[in-house]
């Protein structure tokens, strides 16, 4: 009796484990059957990902989650946002807690290979900078010898900081923090002289201050930080979906497709590339298990790349980031969508 119950339990748990594994291999099927996209985001970085007073997530990284949900599920609101810190993000993605990570993570060699994760593209080209209070009277990162610096643990910035100070033969005292919110609090309390993270993150953090003009972002950019969405290594189709959703947003800007004119263009556009992308002529979506209008819905969710940029972190917002490297390649930037063919 006892033994048979035990065997039953073993068999059942084996089945459950097997089912869990099978599902993990095919993220698209899992997301569709769940009817919801689990998207890992920053726990709070104004402009990139932050919940408002009603708990609705908005921001530059959040917009990509919405676009993917619109492409796959047909509804940009069917996203469950999972806040992940710098320490928990990769474990969260690898263990299947989220389907994709859209959380300003830097594309590096070891993360792409050793961590068994894949980058689906770059949605923001960034670099690491320093922010100091104006009252400190510092105008260059080279003057920070001996300073106390707040740093988010588990990030590439932590490694860059060590390298930069070593290369310039300077010393510093790190104050390790777990999230941007904690860093903000420590920095405002004066527990560190300078706060370092990606320049976009600094701008976003500064925008949330009571008096942003009391703080300066130093001119030195000490590293390359290409930030992009991530998926698990091995599920190539799911990686393709996230990658091409991002490219659809970027290409839409290049071809002048906006959330305002997309309905019209999908019927009347003369550009064969736009016709293919929006599913007017070819059925590209079927090649990765989606329907014809996946890209159209993704663009309608929050507009094209330029619209999302302008609405969340652009120069008209309190964060006030210029396009810079993130302009279209036709405008001298690095944003370059691969051809839809």
Partner 1 sequence: MNDSVPAGPTAPPFRLSMLIYDRRYRSLTFQVIVFILVMSLFWWLVSNTIENLSRLGKDINFGFLFNRAGYDIPQQLIPYTSDDTHLRAAVVGLLNTLLVSVLGCVAATILGVTVGVLRLSRNWLFARLMTIYVETFRNIPLLLWILIIYAILTEITPAPRAYQGEDARQLFLGLIAPTNRYTAIPAFVAERSPGMLHLGRIAIPWLAILYFACLGAAIVIRNRINARAQRIQNQTGKRPVTWWVNLALFVVPPVVIWLAFGLHLDVPELAGFNFKGGINVDNALVALWLALTLYTAAFIAEITRAGILSVSKGQTEAAYSLGLRPNRTMNLVILPQALRVIIPPLISQYLNLTKNSSLAIAVGYMDLRGTLGGTTVNQTGREMEGILLMMLVYLAISLIISGGMNLYNRRVALKER
Query: Where do contacts with partner 1 occur on this chain (CB under 8 A)?
Result: 2-3, 6, 10, 13-14, 17, 21, 24-25, 86-87, 90-91, 94, 110-111, 114-116, 144-148, 153-154, 158-159, 161-163, 166, 172-178, 185-186, 189-193, 232-234
CB of 239 to partner 1, least distance (A): 14
Structure tokens at 290: 């989606």
By beta-carbon proximity to partner 1, the closer residue of 133 and 324 is 133
Quickly list H helices, the chain.
Answer: 2-25, 27-34, 60-73, 89-94, 109-113, 156-167, 180-188, 199-207, 236-254, 262-268, 272-278, 294-302, 305-312
CB of 191 to partner 1, least distance (A): 5
CB of 176 to partner 1, least distance (A): 4
Contacts of 72 (CB under 8 A, 6+ apart): 28, 31, 32, 37, 241, 290, 294
Distance between CA 91 and CA 83 in Å, rounded? 13
CB of 86 to partner 1, least distance (A): 7
By beta-carbon proximity to partner 1, the closer residue of 158 and 282 is 158
Number of other CB atoms surrounding residue 82 within 10 Å: 19
Element of type H or E holding 280: none
SS3 35: coil
The bridge status of strand 147-152 relative to strand 172-177 is parallel
CB of 154 to partner 1, least distance (A): 4
By beta-carbon proximity to partner 1, the closer residue of 106 and 326 is 106
CB of 230 to partner 1, least distance (A): 12
The bridge status of strand 79-83 relative to strand 37-41 is parallel
- Specify whether the CB–CB gap between 71 and 298 falls below 8 A: yes
* Buried-exposed string 93-117: b where 16+ CB fall within 10 A, e elsewhere: bbeeebbbbbbbbbbbeebeeebeb
By beta-carbon proximity to partner 1, the closer residue of 168 and 173 is 173
By beta-carbon proximity to partner 1, the closer residue of 113 and 330 is 113
CB of 159 to partner 1, least distance (A): 5
By beta-carbon proximity to partner 1, the closer residue of 147 and 308 is 147
By beta-carbon proximity to partner 1, the closer residue of 142 and 166 is 166
């Amino acid at each position: 009796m006892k033994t048979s119950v035990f065997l039953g339990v073993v068999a059942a748990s084996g089945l459950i484990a097997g089912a869990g594994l099978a599902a993990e291999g095919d993220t698209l099927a899992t997301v569709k059957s769940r009817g919801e996209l689990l998207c890992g985001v920053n726990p709070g970085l104004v402009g990139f990902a932050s919940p408002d007073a009603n708990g609705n997530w908005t921001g530059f990284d959040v917009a990509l989650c919405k676009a993917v949900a619109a492409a796959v599920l047909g509804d940009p609101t069917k996203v469950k946002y999972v806040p992940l810190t710098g320490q928990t993000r990769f474990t969260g993605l690898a263990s299947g807690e989220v389907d994709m990570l859209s959380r300003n993570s830097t594309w590096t060699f070891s993360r792409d290979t050793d961590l068994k994760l894949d980058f689906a593209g770059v949605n923001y080209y960034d670099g690491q900078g320093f922010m100091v209070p104006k009252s400190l009277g510092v105008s260059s990162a080279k003057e920070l010898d001996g300073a106390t610096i707040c740093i988010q643990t588990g990030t590439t910035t932590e490694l860059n900081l060590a390298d930069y100070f070593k290369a310039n033969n300077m010393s510093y005292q790190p104050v390790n923090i777990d999230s941007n919110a904690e860093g903000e609090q420590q920095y405002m309390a004066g527990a560190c002289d300078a706060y370092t993270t990606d320049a976009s993150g600094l701008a976003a953090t500064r925008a949330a201050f009571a008096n942003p003009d009391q703080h300066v972002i130093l001119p030195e950019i000490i590293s390359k930080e290409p930030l992009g969405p991530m998926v698990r290594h091995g599920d190539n189709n799911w990686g393709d979906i996230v990658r091409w959703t991002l490219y659809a947003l970027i290409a839409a800007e290049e071809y002048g497709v906006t959330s305002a004119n997309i309905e019209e263009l999908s019927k009347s556009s003369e550009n064969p590339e736009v016709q293919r992308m929006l599913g007017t002529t070819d059925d590209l979506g079927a090649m990765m298990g989606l329907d014809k209008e996946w890209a159209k819905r993704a663009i309608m969710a929050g507009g094209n790349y330029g619209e999302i940029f302008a609405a969340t972190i652009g120069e008209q917002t309190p964060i006030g980031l210029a396009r810079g490297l993130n302009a279209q390649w036709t405008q001298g930037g690095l944003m370059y969508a691969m051809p839809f063919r």
